[in-house]
Structure 1
Amino acid sequence: MTPVSRTEVTIGIDIGTTAVKAVAADADGRVVGRTRIVHRLHVPAPDRLEHDADQAWRRGPLAALERLACPEALAVAVTAMVPSLAAVDSAGQPITPGLLYGDGRGRVPAAPDQPLPPMGEAAEFVRWTARQAPGAAGYWPAPAVANYALAGEAVIDHATAYTSAPLFDGSGWNDKACADYGVTVDRLPRVEMIGAVAGQVRDSDTMLAVGTVDALCERVVAGADHDGDVLVLCGTTLVVWTTIPDARHVPGLWTIPHTAPGKSQIGGASNAGGLFLTWADRLLGPGDPTTLDPQRVPVWSPYVRGERVPYHDPDRRAVLDGLDLTHGPASVRRAAYEASGFVVRQLIERSGVPVSRIVAAGGGTRIPLWMQAIADATGRAVEVSAVAEGAALGAAFLARMAAGLESSPIDAARWARTERVVEPDPAWARVMEERYRRFLELGEQPSRVSAVPR
C-alpha cells in the first residue's frame, strides 16, 4: 500500500448509543486509523433511555481523538444520534443525564386521527432539562458537548437544530418559543452549515469542522443514491431509507430530502435494531445454528420499547409467538434477527417503491446472522458496506469540506465500497413467508405496556 501523507488525513467521530467510534481517512476514503470507546446505555425505567453525558459525549470523543494519535490531521468533525440533550455548566461539562431519542421525557401527545406523531421530542427534552437545572450555563445536544470539549465551540449543524423545532425555526433560535420552553437563546448552541470551519482543536493545528446527524453521514458515503436503492442502517436503531425521484406521502412513513439534488428518501427509524437484538442475545443461552430447521422458528414482534416507524406507538411491547418445547436458544435468536429483517421488508413494501438494490451499513453489518436474515426476509441480495463505521467516515468527509478539499457532500459517493454481497438462502426465504404474514398480523394486534409505578 502506498504510504499515506498525514496532511491528507481527516477524522470523523461518531457518538453512538453504545460507543464512540472514530476513523481517520485519506483522500480516497481509505481508513488509516480507527478506534472505539465503549460507554454505558442507561435504561432506569422502561420509558427512559439516557447516557452519562460527561462520559459518552465529552470524555469519549476526547479519548477517541487521543487514541487515533493523528496530530497532523487537517480537520475533525463530530456526528451523533438525534435527539439528545443535557444541561452543562460554565466549563461545558454535563450536569444532568443525557436524554436520548425515545425517552418518555420527550413524549408529545398526538391527536387520535394524527397520521404521524407531532414534532417536538427534542424541545420537550429542553423543557424537562431546564426544570431540572434552571441555572445551567447551557442546554446542549451531544455534538455541541463534544465540539466544546474538542475546541471550545458549542456548535451544531442545521439538521441537528431542526430536530429541536419549534425552538429552531429554520433561520435561527426563536426567542418566543425558547421562552415558552423555559430557556433563553444564549444558552443554546451556535448553528452553522455542515462542513463549515467551526474552530480549532485545542493544542493542535487541526480544524474543527461542523458535522451532522449520524444517519446523514452514513448516507453520504453509502452510495445508495439511485431511484429504488434501499439503504439499511444497522445500528442500535434500525433505519431504512428508499431513494425516490419525488417526495411522496405514505401514512406512517417519513419522507426527507436526499443529499442528491432533486431526490427524496422514504422510510424511517425502527426500534427493531441492535438495541432489541442485543437484549435478545443477553436473554438466550448458546445454541447451535447448524441444527436449525427452517420451518421450526417462532415469530417475534420485536418492540421491547415501543416502535417508531411505521406505528409511532411508544406503548407497544414485544411478543414471542408460536413458541413450543422444541425451540431452543438458536431458534429464538434466529427469530429475533428475522423480526429485524421483517421490519426492513415491511418499510420497503409500505413505501410502494420498486427496489433496485439493498445496501447495508453500520456496525451491525459485522453480524452475519443479521445480514442473512435481511436477505432472507426481503428475498434480495444485500450489499454490505466495506466500512462499518459509516457515520464516522461520513463525518471525515465533511471535515475535508472544512479543509477546502471538497465542495459538496454529494462527492462522498466515491468513498462508497462494498465488502461482500449476502444472497438470500432459498431454503429459508420460502418458509419465512408464512412467518412474515404472522409478523404483520401481530403488528395489527399490539401488546401494550403494563402500568409502571412512578
Structure 2
Amino acid sequence: MFLGIDIGTSGIKATIIDERGNMCARAYRPLRAYGAVERKRELSPVQVKEETLQAVAEVLHTSPTEKIRLITVASLGEAVVPVGADGCVLMNSIVGSDSRGSEELKEVACRFGEEKLTEITGLNLSYIYSLNKMLYIRKHYPEIHRKVWKYMCFTDYIGFVLTGEAVIDYSMASRTMAFDIRKKRWSDEILNAVQISKELLSHPVPGGTVAGTLRKEIKEELGIFYDIPVLVGSHDHIFNAIGAGAVKPGICSNTVGTTEGITTVLGSRIDSRSIRENLISCEPFVRPHLYNTVAWHNAAGAGVNWFLDHFFGRSEEPKDLILAGLNRQQSHPPSHLLVVPHFAGATAGHMDEKAKAAVIGITMATSREEIYKAILEGTAFECRVILDSIRHAGIPVKKVVVSGGGSKSSLWMQIRSSILGRELYCSACADTGALGGAVLGAVVLGLYRSLKDAAGQMVRPGTVVEPEAEAARIYEERYELYRQMYGRLRDINERLSDGVSYV
C-alpha cells in the first residue's frame, strides 16, 4: 500500500493506492485562499499542515488493514513557506501566481541577463518563481526575513513536518530560479549575487530519494506503531504525468484541475533559445538523465468556479448538480462567444501578470449557459496555445492523456478534443498525483524495474474522445481569432492595471 499526499491550490488529497494501482481509500480537504481583496494570492501553511494530517488520519482510518509501505508527497510549485528556527511558520505562503516579486525579477534579470539566467536554471523568466518571493519578503518584511531558518516550498515543508528532515527534490528546487539545472545543485552564482545564503534553503536530492521516516510524534498523532519511509516530495506536474502513463517522450499529460498543467518527458534539456522564444521551461524528472516540460495556465477549473460563484452564488444547490444541469442544457454547435480565460494573468506563451480575462460577443440574447460553454472553450484554446508552443520548441506530442477533475466532464472533453483537433485519452484514475507517487514508489521499492514497467501494470486506460468534424472546422477558424486576442487586449489591460497587477 502507498499513501499519496497531493497539495494543490484549492485543496489537499490523501489517497491510498495498492501495488496494482487500485484506489483503496481517499480523503479531501479544501483550502482557503487569502488576500484576494488586496489582489494577493496566499495559502496558510498552518492550515495546509493541519488539513494534511487530518486527511491522512481519515484515509488511514477508512483504508484496509495492510501496512503502508511508503508515503509520497506532491504539491504546487514556487509557493514560498518561510520557516523559523523552531520549525514554526513565520507568515502565509506567497503563491507563484501572486505578482509580488515582479520588481525583484527585473533587478535579478538586469544583473544577470535573461540568456544567462535561463542557461543556468532552465526557466523562462517570470515573477512566479520562489527566489523573487524571497527577495520581496526580505525587502518588505525584513523582520520576518531575519528570523528565517529555511525558505521552503510545500513539498519540503510537509516532508519536514512528517520526517524532521529539510530536503527538496531537484524538480521543486528548479522552480525557485536559484537551482543550477545542469550541475544539479543550488547556484552559488545566483545566490551570491542576490545575497541569499544557500543555508536558508533545503538540501537538494534526486527525485525518488527517501527523505526519512515518520517522526515519533506524527506516528502517535496518527495512531501508527510502525515506521513508514517518506519519499522526498516532487512537483505535482511530474506525479500527474506518471499517474497518467506519460513516462516517455511523445506522450503529453494534460491535467485539468483548478489550474491546468501540460507535461511531457524529455530525453534532454530544452535549449535556452527555445525556452526564451516559446516561454516553455523544463525541470529535472524523477529518473536520472531525464527532464520534463513545465507549462500551465492559471484558470481552468478556477474559471469555472468564478462563473459558478458569480452566476449561481446564491444557489443552495451543490456545485456538481449545477454543473450537471448546465451540461445537459448545452447544444452541439460552438458558442457565439470568445472567452480569453486570463482570470489570473497569462502564463505559458505570454507570461504576463497584467493580462485579464475577457468575454467577447455578448448580446441581449446571450445566456449564462452560453457563457459557461464559452469558458470551457476558452480554456481549451489556451491549452492549444501551449501545445503549439511545445511543438514549436521541437518537442513531439504524439498522444495527449487528460486527467484531473475536468477530465470527468464529457462536455468539456468533447469541446477540448474538437478544438485541439486530436484524440484525447482520458485517465481512468481520478487522482493521478497519488497514482503517480505510487508508481514511482513501486520502482523505488524494487517491485518494478522501471517507470515504464510499473505504469504498464498500475495505470489503466480510460475513455477516448474524438473530435466532432463540424465543430472542429468552426473552432479552427475561431482559433485564429483567439490567437489575436491577447495582443489586441494587452494595451487595454496595461491601462486598466494602473500599475497594479490583478491576480
TM bucket, shorter chain: 0.7 to 0.9
Aligned equivalent of 2:363: 324
The reply on whether 1:22 has 2:28 as its aligned counterpart is no
In structure 2, the partner of 1:419 is 462
Question: Is 2:404 the counterpart of 1:357?
Answer: no
**1:276 is the counterpart of 2:303:** yes
RMSD, matched Cα? 3.1
Give the AA of the match of 1:29. Answer: G
The residue that corresponds to 2:136 in the other structure is 128
Match of 1:87 among 82, 87, 98: 82
Corresponding residue for 1:218?
A: 240
User: Quick check: 2:207–2:285 contact (8 Å CA) kept in 1?
Assistant: no
Q: Which residue of 1 aligns with 2:342?
A: 303
What does 1:224-373 correspond to in 2, within 5 Å?
224-225=246-247, 228-241=250-263, 247=270, 249=274, 251-254=277-280, 256=282, 268-285=295-312, 288-289=326-327, 290=329, 292=331, 294=333, 296-350=335-389, 351-352=391-392, 355-373=397-415
Cross-structure match for 1:3: none
Counterparts in 2 of 1:90 and 1:406: CA distance versus 1, 3 Å: farther
How far did residue 200 of structure 1 move? 1.0
Q: Deviations over 1:378-423 (max 9, x none)?
A: 1322111111211122123333345444554444422322222223
CA distance in 2, matches of 1:149, 1:113: 36
Secondary structure at the aligned position of 1:79 is classed as strand
Superposition pairs of residues 102-121 of structure 1, within 5 angstroms: 102-107=97-102, 108-109=105-106, 117-118=124-125, 121=129
Following the alignment from structure 1 to structure 2, what is the Cα–Cα distance between the partners of residues 91 and 260?
34
The 8 Å contact of residues 161 and 168 in structure 1, kept in 2 or not, is answered as no
SS at 1:55 equivalent: helix
| Range that drifts further, 316-325 or 162-171 | 162-171
Identify which range, 79-88 or 177-186, moves more after superposition.
Answer: 177-186
Q: Would you say the 8 A contact 2:83–2:152 is kept in 1?
A: yes
- The question of whether the paired residues in 2 share the 8 Å contact of 1:195 and 1:400 is answered with no
Q: Is the 8 A contact 2:11 2:28 kept in 1?
A: yes
2:164 corresponds, among 152, 156, 162, to 152
- Looking at structure 1, the residues matched to 338 and 352 of structure 2 have their Cα atoms a distance apart, in angstroms, of 20
Q: Note the C-alpha offset of 1:15.
A: 0.8
Does the 8 A contact of 1:220 with 1:410 survive in 2? no
Paired amino acid for 1:135: K
Structure 2 residue runs of 5 or longer lacking an equivalent are 220-225, 313-321
1:137–1:278 Cα change, 3 Å: same
Displacement of 1:262 in angstroms is 8.1
Shift of 1:309: 0.7
Letter of the structure 1 residue corresponding to residue 25 of structure 2: G
For 2:59, give the aligned amino acid.
L
Note the alpha carbon deviations across 1:64-119, whole angstroms, 9 max, x for none. Answer: 22111168201101111111112123342322111111221232236899898426
Aligned residue identity for 2:475: M
8 Å CA contact retained: 1:220, 1:259: no
CA offset at residue 227 of structure 1?
Answer: 5.4
Which stretch has the larger CA shift, 43-52 or 243-252?
243-252
| Structure 2 CA distance for aligned equivalents of residues 127 and 253 of structure 1 | 23
Q: Which of 405, 416, 422 is residue 374 of structure 1 equivalent to?
A: 416
Distance (Å, rounded) in 1 between the aligned partners of 2:428 and 2:332? 31
Q: Equivalent of 2:202, from 189, 211, 216?
A: 189
SS in 1 for 2:383: helix
1:140 Cα deviation (Å)? 1.3
**Alignment correspondent of 2:26:** 34
**Structure 1 spans left out of the alignment, 5+ residues:** 1-8
Please give the TM-score of this superposition, normalised by the length of structure 1. Answer: 0.87
| d(CA) in 2 for partners of 1:291, 1:32 | 35
Q: Report how far residue 252 of structure 1 moved.
A: 2.1
Tell me the CA shift for residue 136 of structure 1.
2.6
In the TM superposition, what whole-angstrom CA distance separates every residue of 1:128-156 from its partner, at most 9, and x where no partner exists?
Answer: 23452121332211112211221222221
Q: Cα distance 1:442–1:24, how it changes in 2: closer, same or farther (>3 A)?
A: same
Between Structure 1 and Structure 2, which shows a larger proportion of helix residues?
2
Please say if 1:391 is aligned against 2:433.
Answer: yes
Which deviates further from its counterpart, 330-339 or 398-407? Answer: 398-407
Change (3 A) 1:198 1:243: closer
Contact 2:169 2:232 in 1 (8 A): yes
Deviation track 1:264-317 (CA, whole Å, cap 9, x = no partner) reads: 655721224222232233223467553547254200111122111101111111
Pair 176,45 (structure 1): closer, same or farther in 2 beyond 3 Å: farther
Query: In 2, Cα distance between the equivalents of 1:244 and 1:15?
Result: 25
Give the letter for the 2:125 counterpart: P
Q: Supply the distance in 1 between the matched residues of 2:249 and 2:229 (Cα, whole angstroms).
A: 36
TM-score by length of 2: 0.79
| Contact kept? 2:247, 2:451, Cα under 8 Å | no
More displaced 10-residue stretch of structure 1: 418-427 or 28-37:
418-427
* Cα distance in structure 2, aligned partners of 1:125 and 1:407: 40
The 10-residue stretch of structure 1 (111-120 or 435-444) with the greater mean CA deviation from structure 2: 111-120
Residue equivalent to 2:71? 76
Query: Take 2:175 and 2:257, find their aligned partners in 1: how far apart are those partners?
Result: 20
One-letter code aligned to 2:497? A
In structure 2, give the amino acid aligned to 1:33.
Answer: A
8 Å contact kept, 1:87–1:129: no
Counterpart-to-counterpart distance in 1, 2:207 and 2:308: 37
Partner residue, 2:317: none
- How much does 1:165 deviate? 3.0
What is the CA–CA distance in structure 1 between the aligned matches of 2:38 and 2:412, rounded to whole Å? 25
Task: Provide the identity percentage.
Answer: 24
Cα distance change on mapping 1:263 and 1:13 into 2, 3 Å: closer
One-letter amino acid matched to 1:129: I
CA contact (8 A) 2:443 2:449 kept: yes
Whole-angstrom distance in 2 between the partners of 1:288 and 1:364? 14
Q: Which residue of 2 aligns with 1:65?
A: 56
Q: Which deviates more from structure 2 when the two are superposed, residues 91-100 or residues 176-185?
A: 176-185
User: Counterparts of 2:175 and 2:96 in 1: how far apart (Å)?
Assistant: 11
Q: Given the superposition, is the C-alpha separation of residues 258 and 166 from structure 1 closer, same or farther in structure 2, using an over 3 Å criterion?
A: closer
- Over 3 Å counting, the alpha-carbon distance change for 1:267 and 1:152 in structure 2 is closer
